[in-house]
Chains A and B, each alone.
Chain A
Amino acid sequence: MKYLAYARAEFLRGFQYRANYWATACGTVVTIAIQWALWNTVYRDAGMIAGLSMTTMLSYSLMGRVVSGLLAEPRGLNLGPRVRSGTIVHDLVKPMNLSTLLMFQTLGRGLYSLVSIGLPCFVILWAAGLVRLPQLITLAAFAASLAMGYVALFSTYFVSGVLTFYTKTGVRVEHLYPVISLLSGEFVPLEFFPGWLRVIADSLPFKGIYYVPMSLWSGISSPAQVLPALVSQGIWTLGMIALARIIWAGAVRNLTVQGG
């Protein structure tokens, strides 16, 4: 798999930025502390909220922070600027597929963040008893769901990036990130939503990014319960890959690589 070489290069690159590492690590620790304090306050006078115990809620929310570095990477794709400035030429004159290459690049960065920041955080949280390792089958479903969520998220940003230099407008999916974040269940599970919003979030594919894997991990739902969600997540993921390929094939014909 030649594209792994790109993931490797990005992974190695991560080690070069020490200041960046400590800044990101501190940011993650602070966010985790805030989440912990927040839910402790919220649950002070209640045993269950929206049918979830505090233990479950903490597990859901803190595990989300552990993998957040991985899932944040596709947002930095910046495809439009890369085309406009012409740095993409070298990628285009190689025998490879651009979307796959970019996906492995962001994956390399995401895995670096997962291993260097997510993993230590996880070990601390696990030692503190705040997150627990689920059963193997749940873990497998969690990993599968996370992987699909990642690919689909990447494809969404890729399609959005391609459309940007197609239309030459500045509006990107990135600007809608707060909405996607909410609907994906990044900070609160969908159980917290009012009925109408739950219906919307349930029918949109974004819940596959955070909600499905985190609810599996924290035991809100069992692998059997989320099987339909996993299947629809898989279909969505394949659909997004296909869409990315089609849009890219169209765009590459009109591509104008700028600069002398």
Chain B
Amino acid sequence: MHSNSPLIVASDLRRHFRVRVDAEGIGDAFKRFFKPEYQVVKALDGVTFAIGRGESVGYIGLNGAGKSTTIKLMCGVLVPTSGTVTVGGLEPHKSRTANARRIGLMMGQRSQLLWDLPVRESFFLLGRIYDLKADVYRVSVKRLLDVLDMGDLWNTPARTLSLGQKTRCDLALTFLHDPEVVFLDEPTIGLDVLARERIRDFLRQEKDRGVTIFLASHDLDDLEIVADRVMLVHRGKLLFDGTQEALRDVIGGRPGTLEETVKRFYKEADLG
């Protein structure tokens, strides 16, 4: 099932941004107000990959390497400059709402909880938005409350939650409609060791249930535990795509954690 019918296919995917160059000083600002200067930033510059159903991919890259851009393209929130990306045969930006039913997106830095209301209201809202039938909704909520141990958060207003509690709620919301594939952008950012471990355990369980997981994180311990496969993106290009063992082989087969391996990779390739 893995490689026969890939769920996500990206081919020569590019996304360039035209960015206005900021002025230096007031005189310059005045000049540029009338004659702005632009430069092109190649956030993603020709990336090709295929991800099978049920795979768990760790997406590694320095800040600004193109991680979030890739995720946004797969979610249909950005349109490719050139090249294509498909999720389950659909082009996300052309079939944004059809794509939306299959995917889940979680951004560690951007909660989707209704800030002022009890947690249950956020779930109720999403249940409606995804048109979940009452029994499907109940089963899904019950499962997630159990697995993420958040039963006592159910009636708590989101604004009073700790970061770890909020992250758990956000994760549960992402999985509520039982998506085929989940994109996670820094899900463990700012969390303590125990909270991180809890989230990794949860993601592994979801992987075992057959959910395809695309996990971008700077916390390489997350990836080491969750990801069968790692992709390393640098300045918009894919430098490595394979298993963790294969990555170790590339830098001479020395044992070590994923973090040590990736550091060596950067050093040997003289990047950064």
Contacts and interface: CB of A to CB of B under 8 A. Distances in A.
Interface of A: 2, 4-6, 8-9, 12-13, 16-17, 86-87, 89-90, 92-97, 252-257, 259-260
Given A89-B110, A253-B93, A12 B100 contact: no
Nearest to A85: B110
A254 B93 CA distance: 11
A2 B177 CA distance: 15
B79 A255 contact: yes
B97 A90 contact: no
A5 B129 contact: yes
A252 B98 CA distance: 16
A256 B78 contact: yes
A175 to B, nearest CB: 19
Nearest to B103: A93
A89 B183 CA distance: 13
Contacts of B114: 9, 13
A16 B117 contact: yes
Contacts of B79: 253-255
Contact of A96 (B75, B121, B129): B129
Interface size on B, as a range, is 35 or more
Which 9 residue pairs are nearest across A and B when measured between Cβ atoms? A5-B128, A90-B112, A95-B100, A16-B116, A95-B97, A2-B128, A93-B105, A260-B68, A5-B125
A90 B129 contact: no
Contacts of A4: 128
Does more than half of chain A's interface fall in helix, strand or loop, or is it mixed?
Answer: loop
A117 B101 CA distance: 39
A64 to B, nearest CB: 29
Contact of A86 (B105, B110, B112): B110
B171 to A, nearest CB: 14
Nearest to B19: A256
Given A2-B129, A253-B79, A89 B116 contact: no
Contacts of A5: 124-125, 128-129
Contacts of B112: 90
Contacts of B129: 2, 5, 94-96
8 contacts: A2-B129, A8-B125, A9-B114, A12-B117, A13-B116, A95-B98, A96-B100, A257-B78
